[in-house]
Homo-oligomer: A and B are copies of this chain.
Amino acid sequence: MDLHVVVPAGGSGTRLWPLSRATNPKFLHPLTGTERSLLQATFDRLAPLASAERVHVVTGTAHATAVARQLPEVPERNILIEPLARDSCAAIALAAAVIEQRSPGAVMASFAADHLIKDTEAFGRTVEEAVRGAAEGKLMTIGITPTRPETGYGYLQCSETAELGVQQQVLEFKEKPDLATATEYVESGRYLWNASMFVWRTDLFLRELAQRRPDVFEPVSEIARAWDTDDRVSVVEALWATIPKVAVEYAVMEPAAADGLVATVPGDFGWSDIGDFETLGELLSDTRDGAHVVSTPAAGEVVTVDSAGVIAVPAGGRLVATLGVQDLIVVDTPDAVLVCDRSRAQDIKRLTEILRDTGRTEYV
């Protein structure tokens, strides 16, 4: 198999602040239990599915050099730099259109740069099945078999009870539900987590995009035609900013699902989006003296006394000491320290909003 792969590398991971920053986002960090960043781990995981020449990364100007250095194997022409963030539809459409330009009728697969997957083999088998569906003309997604009634993810509503590895139709894309709804979803066995993993023929995706969102399709197509020419800079400058900001689910996948064009392969391969410090503590920590210590390179030491349920991220290289505290997240970085109750891990974004609103953007 030699897929065309697209890795959208955007988003700053505000629930991982102050570890993840706008200028140094989650996907560039080695939150993998190894020295490799999430982006690099994503690349490594795709190696059996796609040669490096077929891997594309779509990223912003702020992170292009870091991406280029972290992934020296990826050809320069495959690092697609967006001058401005225009949400996932523009990013994925640009990649699809450039790939279609270079390899008409290619099958492409898109995977986020900042997810963690434990079972690479099971992941590969699931992708293979999705590729079969894509070759048959479906817009494919890979859905994650839910392990809990998570309210932080969107869901895919399947036509039947989900069966691992067995392709079936997606009836609807569901927004993040409340807990009662999420519980119903999980109990029904007919819902999967939407991890924004897509597999399709580029020509078919672009056809759907053209029908449903010509305001995205037209500038993107014109940019893609110019991409490998001397006109790229002037065309991008003229058109990119005109593209509306919209998520690919909303722009294409939801209406296409309503028309019966979307299918999914349920997967179960130890997926996590490493979305918050709770997840990080669960997946990537050593437990010492009642503290879950998340290891990062150049991590500082942690000393806890009479403390329980502490998630410590000593990423500033300093000593982190706790005494007589319970259920806290303590994150040390070179220029900011966070102390947060574990029950509030989802609200860390608020701090970044406050910092931004009060002009302390250097910390965001």
**Residues in A lying within 8 Å of B, measured CB to CB:** 18, 301, 303, 305-306, 316, 318-325, 328, 330, 332, 334-341, 343-344, 347-348, 350-351, 354-355, 358, 360, 363
Contact = CB atoms under 8 A, between A and B. Distances in A.
A354 B320 contact: no
Given A339-B328, A339-B330, A354 B319 contact: no
Copies of this protein, total: 2
Secondary structure of the A side of the interface? mixed
B351 A323 contact: yes
Contacts of A318: 316, 334-337
Contacts of A355: 303, 319, 321
A330 to B, nearest CB: 5
18 contacts: A18-B319, A303-B354, A303-B358, A306-B344, A316-B337, A318-B334, A318-B335, A318-B336, A319-B335, A319-B336, A320-B339, A322-B340, A323-B344, A324-B341, A324-B347, A325-B340, A328-B339, A330-B339
Given A301-B360, A303-B355, A344-B306, A338 B350 contact: no
A61 B306 CA distance: 35
Contacts of A341: 323-325
Nearest to A319: B336
Contacts of A347: 305, 323-324
Given A305-B350, A319-B335, A328 B325 contact: yes
Contacts of A339: 320-323, 325, 328, 330, 339
A-B pairs, top 5 by smallest CB distance, nearest first, are: A324-B344, A324-B341, A319-B336, A323-B340, A322-B339
A360 B303 CA distance: 10
A343 B358 CA distance: 32
Given A318-B335, A337-B318, A348 B323 contact: yes
